Every structure is written in C-alpha cells, then in structure tokens.
C-alpha cells in the first residue's frame, strides 16, 4: 500500500473522500488528515507519506505554500491539488511546484479513482525501476572509471604524498574546488535485508540512490570502498555540516521507506585540504560504527555524539589493544572482557624473556595514556604518572595484569558513557534556556535552535524527544501556551497582544493552537478562570 495524507479545513470533505473512495482497491492507505498547512507539515515529519492530497484555500497556510514546503523538504512525495473552479487558473500557475494533478470541486468519485489509478501505475514504475536487478547490474557495469575509483580509495587511505596530488588529479581529470571537505560513509545493514533481495544488489541500489539524492547537491566524489559507499563532499563553510547531516538523515529514512533497507550514514570531520581526507574518512567510518549505540536508519555525526574526540585510531593493527579501545567506546561489559582476554593471549602469554614482557607493558601504558588523552579522560584516575604506573604493573603476573586491565577498561567505559550523557543533557538544558529567553520571537523554531547550538536538526530532534518525551516544536508550543494562559489570567491584555508577546503574529492561529492545548478559546479560558 502507498500512503496518503489528506489536507482540508472542511472536515466533511475529508470524511467523504476517506469513506467513499475504495482506497485499498486502488492500492492506497489513508494514514491521516490535517485541517491546515501547519498541522500537515508536523504530520509529514512523522509519517512521510507517498502522496499528499490538499485543498488550496485553508487558514494559516494555504495549499500552494504547503506544496512549496513539501517539494523543498520531501521531494519524493507526490502532490495532488483539489480546489474550486475560481482557483483553478490560479493553481495552474504553480507549474514549478510539479503538481501531479488538479482536481476540481465538487469532487467526482470516478475522476478521483482514475487519477489514483494512474498515480499508482507511476509509483509502481518508479519503485520497480529502483529494484530492477537488470538495471542495477547495468548500473554496476557503468560505475565510476577504475582509475578515479582507485585514486579516491588511495586518497582516503592516506597513501598519496601531498606533492603528487595535483599531478594525479590532472591526469584523472578530477577537480576539488570546495572551501572545505568532508567524507561520509554509507553503510547498508547485511543483517536486515528485505525478503527476496540479494544484499549485493541492495548495496548497489543504495549506492545509486545516494548518487541521485546527495551527489549533485554536495558536489561529491562517490565510490565504493570495502563494501560501503564513500562520498567526499565539498562544503562552502563549516556551518553546512549540520545541513549535510540532516540531508543524510532524510536519505536514510527515504531508503527505509522505499526499499526496506536499514542504512546508516557516518559523517566525518571537516578538513580544509584533500590531503587530510584520510582523517575525515576514519572519523566517518567510526561515526557509522556508533550505530550499535544509537541504532541504524539514521545519519551519525561523530562531532555531535562525541564532541571531545580528537583523534581516531584504526583498529586493524592485529594486536588486539585497539580493539579494547573500540569496545570501551561502543561495546558492553561482556565485549570488553572478551577483548581484554584476546589481547592478553596474543600479547602476554608467549614471551620467552622478561625484557620483552616489560616492553609490552610499556607499550600498553603508552597507548592507554594516548587513548585517555584523546578522549579527555581523567588520567589521574589510574596513576600519578607513566613512571609510577610502570613501576606498579610491570611486576604483575599475566593473570593479575589481565584483571587490572579489565578493571581499568570498565572504568573508562563508564566514564565515556557518563560524558556522552552529560553532553546530551547539557544540549537539552541549553535548548530549554534558549526557549525561555526567546519564545517571544515568531521565527523561533527547530532550524533556529539547531543553528544556535551548532548541531543538525536530526540529531537534536532525536535527543530532545528521547530526553523530554516531546518534540522540540511541541515543547515550544506548550511553553508558549503556558505563558499565554498565565497572561490571560494575570493581566488585562487583549488576546491579540498576548498572541504577539508569545510569538504568534496571527491571532486566529494563536486561538486555534490555544484551543487545541486547553480545549477552550482564550477568551473563554479567561472567563472560566475568573469565575473560579
């Protein structure tokens, strides 16, 4: 079933459409209705329907303005307009909005049925094209030229000397002209694959969609590396990283909706020269690995979730020590215990001399300090200095050293979890304080608060709802309504003045929102409270 959202301020029109049209036979499911444009946008954020069918004339926000917002934020959503004859010519002028169809009131059941039959065929064709294995294989054969792909792979591995970059880029006709650069890693889950779909074809399909949805906007260089899609994006300024994160987050949800695939996009650190892209790739790769903590089907920006992290270490050293550090960041206590056990077996159970044992202890201490420094953890918790720590543990027997290392690793795991929690709590507290100081401003909204805090909309929305149980827009509305209710009772101000003082320039919309919150109009609320 394709999903449909109905938008009209006339409840009886909505009821007739929902009841009389045989939606299931047409292949559609009505997932809700809204009686104004603002409410429709709130619902779109939650449900992201395949089709929106809207009237033009509505209070607070008309249908054409709503269509503009939909095309900007959800370009894959199809739009149908129904309207009276007087507005038809006016509606036709909005061809730039790419409206699928215009339907004149009074609505005709046969006409609606025909329109949705045609729309169903178009949606089926688009979806089949995305899933068609032959097209995917053809696209795979026509993927990026081998030399360019090899260059990008070698670049993110950090194996191209800076003085040779220009020559390679000239030879392979590659241009990097962004002010800043950022790697993103698109990871497709191999454990959550739609029934009947080959993971290899699914990965290719996700790669193709990443190209269509993200590549042009961010002037990205796209290639496949170690089974994942990697994109080198070009930014105009560092402020764009939040916008990039939000767009990648919408991409993940779009892929889940269209293909049923679970995709995570890791966003790396921003760099100002292509020679630093290896570091950006490593941070993007690590960000994607944080899906074990934050879940898949979203974009994860390492700077947002671990703001104190400065250097990323590759865990493919074979020693097992860096795997312990990875489990401290991402694993649970059982994972850490297993990693410590493997490390001790590999490193400390086969020495034939005391000297080699002591060298291994020194390496352990050095890397441990390095890890704690990079993550701004309290070094004083484990000793008074490297020399004192070495003197303490260099004479430990291997089984005693293993217990000490496990205890230390579990302590660091707890400290990092606390740091993440306090970072999130601080973000939410800052947002609440900003609302308290700026709720009077009409333009205050999700974009404004995220710009102020320097985070992406997707990350902030997820964290705010998780911590408070409300969306940010819901919290802001509740706060404004509480202020308005107090002013209605404690002052003699006119309702329209109170509306303006809590951020609403349209007194009618203020009354609508107030009644939705308290069940009565502002004037009746004031009267009832005065009587009590």
* Of residues 187 and 291, more confidently modeled: 187
- Which pLDDT band holds residue 131 (cuts at 50, 70, 90)? confident
* Of residues 136 and 223, more confidently modeled: 223
CA distances from 409 to 306, 322, 333, 380 (A): 18, 12, 9, 15
Token duo for residue 423: 């970072």
Token pair 């949800």: residue: 253
> For 4-86, where are the alpha helices, taking DSSP H only?
11-20, 23-26, 37-47, 63-73
Q: What is the pLDDT of residue 315?
A: 44
Token pair 């990871």: residue: 187
Has residue 307 got a pLDDT over 70? Answer: no
Q: How many C-beta atoms surround the C-beta of residue 487 within 10 A?
A: 19
CA-nearest of 297, 298, 266 to 284 is 266
pLDDT digit string, tens, across residues 380-403: 777 666 667 777 787 788 888 889
Q: What is the pLDDT of residue 500?
A: 94
Residue 380 DSSP label: G
Q: What is the pLDDT of residue 350?
A: 66
Q: What is the pLDDT of residue 213?
A: 93
**Residue range 116-121: mean pLDDT, rounded:** 93
- Which pLDDT band holds residue 314 (cuts at 50, 70, 90)? very low
pLDDT digit string, tens, across residues 229-242: 999 999 999 889 99
**Residue range 14-23: mean pLDDT, rounded:** 88
Of 9-13, 183-187, 200-204, the poorest mean pLDDT is in 9-13
Of 50-59, 86-95, 294-303, the poorest mean pLDDT is in 86-95
Is 79 exposed, middle or buried, given 0-12, 13-18 or 19+ CB atoms closer than 10 A? buried
Q: What is the pLDDT of residue 186?
A: 96
pLDDT digit string, tens, across residues 501-521: 999 999 999 999 999 999 999
Token duo for residue 44: 């779109």
Q: What is the pLDDT of residue 325?
A: 85
Token duo for residue 158: 């950090």
Strands of the sheet containing 263-267, edge to edge, are: 221-225, 228-235, 180-188, 263-267, 298-301
Rounded to 5°, the CA angle 203-211-297 comes to 55
Has residue 446 got a pLDDT over 70? Answer: yes
Has residue 86 got a pLDDT over 80? Answer: no
- Which pLDDT band holds residue 143 (cuts at 50, 70, 90)? low
Cβ(515)–Cβ(526) under 8 Å?
no
Of 49-63, 123-137, 153-167, 246-260, the poorest mean pLDDT is in 123-137
Residues β-bridged to residue 83: 104
Token duo for residue 196: 């009947």
- Which pLDDT band holds residue 369 (cuts at 50, 70, 90)? confident
Has residue 220 got a pLDDT over 90? Answer: yes
Is 445 exposed, middle or buried, given 0-12, 13-18 or 19+ CB atoms closer than 10 A? middle
- Percent of the chain's residues with pLDDT above 70: 90
Q: What is the pLDDT of residue 463?
A: 85
Has residue 53 got a pLDDT over 90? Answer: yes
- Which pLDDT band holds residue 252 (cuts at 50, 70, 90)? very high
Q: What is the pLDDT of residue 91?
A: 58
Helices 472-490 and 398-438, axial angle in degrees (round to 10)? 40
Average pLDDT score over the chain:
86
Token duo for residue 219: 């002037």
Cβ(446)–Cβ(420) under 8 Å?
no
Of 33-42, 346-355, 388-397, 430-439, the poorest mean pLDDT is in 346-355
- Which pLDDT band holds residue 30 (cuts at 50, 70, 90)? very high
Please spell the DSSP secondary structure of 65-117, one letter per residue. HHHHHHHHH-TTSEEEEEE-GGGHHHHHTTGGG--SEEEESSP-HHHHHHHHH
Token duo for residue 211: 């190209």
**Residue range 35-64: mean pLDDT, rounded:** 89
- Percent of the chain's residues with pLDDT above 90: 42
Token pair 């009074």: residue: 106
Cβ(155)–Cβ(282) under 8 Å?
no
| pTM (predicted TM-score) | 0.55
Q: What is the pLDDT of residue 417?
A: 79
Residues β-bridged to residue 299: 265
- Which pLDDT band holds residue 209 (cuts at 50, 70, 90)? very high
- Which pLDDT band holds residue 312 (cuts at 50, 70, 90)? very low
Cis peptide leading into residue 106 (ω within 30°): yes
Q: What is the pLDDT of residue 119?
A: 93
């Amino acid at each position: 079933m394709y999903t449909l959202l109905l938008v009209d301020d006339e409840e009886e029109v909505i009821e007739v459409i929902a009841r009389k049209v045989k939606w299931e036979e047409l292949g559609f499911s009505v997932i809700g209705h809204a009686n104004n444009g603002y409410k429709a946008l709130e619902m779109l954020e939650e449900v992201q329907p395949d089709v929106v069918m809207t009237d033009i004339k509505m209070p607070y926000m008309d249908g054409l303005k709503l269509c503009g917002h939909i095309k900007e934020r959800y370009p894959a959503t199809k739009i149908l307009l129904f309207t009276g004859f007087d507005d038809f010519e006016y509606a036709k002028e909005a061809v730039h909005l790419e409206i699928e169809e215009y339907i004149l009131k009074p609505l005709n059941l046969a006409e609606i049925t025909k329109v949705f039959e045609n729309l169903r065929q178009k949606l089926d064709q688009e979806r089949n094209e995305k899933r068609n294995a032959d097209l995917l294989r053809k696209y795979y054969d026509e993927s990026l030229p081998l030399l360019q792909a090899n260059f990008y792979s070698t670049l993110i591995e950090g194996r191209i000397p800076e003085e040779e970059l220009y020559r390679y880029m000239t030879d392979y006709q590659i241009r990097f002209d962004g002010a800043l650069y950022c790697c993103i890693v698109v990871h497709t889950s191999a454990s959550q694959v739609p029934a009947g779909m080959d993971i290899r074809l699914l990965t290719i399909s996700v790669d193709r969609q990443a190209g269509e949805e993200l590549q042009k906007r961010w002037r990205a260089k796209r290639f496949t590396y170690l089974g994942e899609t990697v994109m080198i994006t070009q930014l105009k300024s560092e402020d764009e990283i939040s916008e990039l994160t939000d767009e990648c987050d919408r991409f993940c949800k779009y892929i889940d909706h269209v293909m049923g695939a679970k995709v995570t996009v890791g966003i790396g650190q921003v760099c100002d020269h292509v020679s630093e892209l290896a570091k950006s790739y490593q941070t993007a790769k690590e960000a994607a690995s944080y899906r074990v903590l934050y879940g898949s089907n979203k974009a994860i920006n390492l700077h947002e979730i671990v703001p104190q992290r400065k250097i990323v270490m590759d865990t493919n050293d074979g020693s097992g020590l860096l795997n312990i550090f990875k489990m401290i960041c991402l694993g649970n206590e059982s994972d850490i215990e297993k990693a410590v056990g493997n490390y001790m077996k590999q490193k400390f159970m086969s020495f034939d001399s005391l000297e080699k044992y002591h060298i291994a202890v020194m390496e352990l201490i050095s890397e441990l300090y390095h890890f704690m420094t990079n993550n701004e953890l309290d070094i004083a918790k484990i000793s008074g200095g490297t020399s004192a720590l070495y003197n303490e543990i260099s004479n430990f027997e291997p089984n005693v050293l293993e217990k000490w290392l496990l205890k230390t690793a579990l302590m660091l795991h707890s400290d990092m979890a606390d740091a993440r929690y306090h970072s999130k709590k601080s973000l939410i507290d800052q947002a609440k304080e900003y609302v308290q100081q700026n709720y009077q401003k009409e333009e205050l909204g999700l974009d404004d608060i995220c710009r102020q805090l320097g985070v992406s909309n997707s990350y902030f929305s997820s964290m705010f709802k998780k911590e408070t149980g409300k969306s940010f827009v819901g919290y802001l509305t509740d706060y404004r309504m509480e202020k308005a209710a107090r002013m209605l009772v404690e002052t003699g101000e006119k309702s329209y003045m109170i509306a303006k003082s809590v951020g609403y320039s349209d007194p009618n919309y203020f009354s609508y929102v107030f009644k939705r919150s308290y069940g009565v109009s502002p004037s009746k609320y004031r009267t009832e409270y005065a009587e009590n």
